[in-house]
Amino acid sequence: DARVTQTPRHKVTEMGQEVTMRCQPILGHNTVFWYRQTMMQGLELLAYFRNRAPLDDSGMPKDRFSAEMPDATLATLKIQPSEPRDSAVYFCASGLVDRDDGYTFGSGTRLTVV
């Protein structure tokens, strides 16, 4: 059963520290999204990759967040420096851009910045 794998599942870090979250999309998928979910804001799009190229990161705070896809099997989301307001669940989702049947979400990384 193909699935999107995210690591770590949980992360607690101190304010100011660097945080890196990783995502392994489903093999063969050419589209990867990063979402952030909070109680107040719901699901917010942070970044979007197609064929490893970053196409839209307008939802991401540029000063501290960065997203990359060094190869087809790995997407990363980095926060440096982290702040308490970054505490949220970060989801990665992957799919095929030429199929209009939705995207598969990973299990998420629950980040707590203290």
Partner 1 sequence: QKEVEQNSGPLSVPEGAIASLNCTYSDRGSQSFFWYRQYSGKSPELIMFIYSNGDKEDGRFTAQLNKASQYVSLLIRDSQPSDSATYLCAVNKPMFDNYGQNFVFGPGTRLSVLP
Identity of the residue, 63 or 101, whose beta carbon is nearer to partner 1 in the bound complex: 101
What's the closest the beta carbon of residue 81 comes to partner 1, in angstroms? 27
Q: Which of 14, 18, 56, 83 binds partner 1 (CB under 8 A)?
A: 56
Residue 31 contacts partner 1 per CB under 8 A: yes
With beta carbons less than 8 A apart as the criterion, state whether 44 and 33 touch: no
**Cis omega (within 30 of 0) for bond into 70:** no
Identity of the residue, 5 or 80, whose beta carbon is nearer to partner 1 in the bound complex: 5
Q: Which of 13, 78, 87, 105 binds partner 1 (CB under 8 A)?
A: 105
Helix and strand element counts for the chain (H, E):
0, 11
Tokens (6 digits) for 110: 């629950």
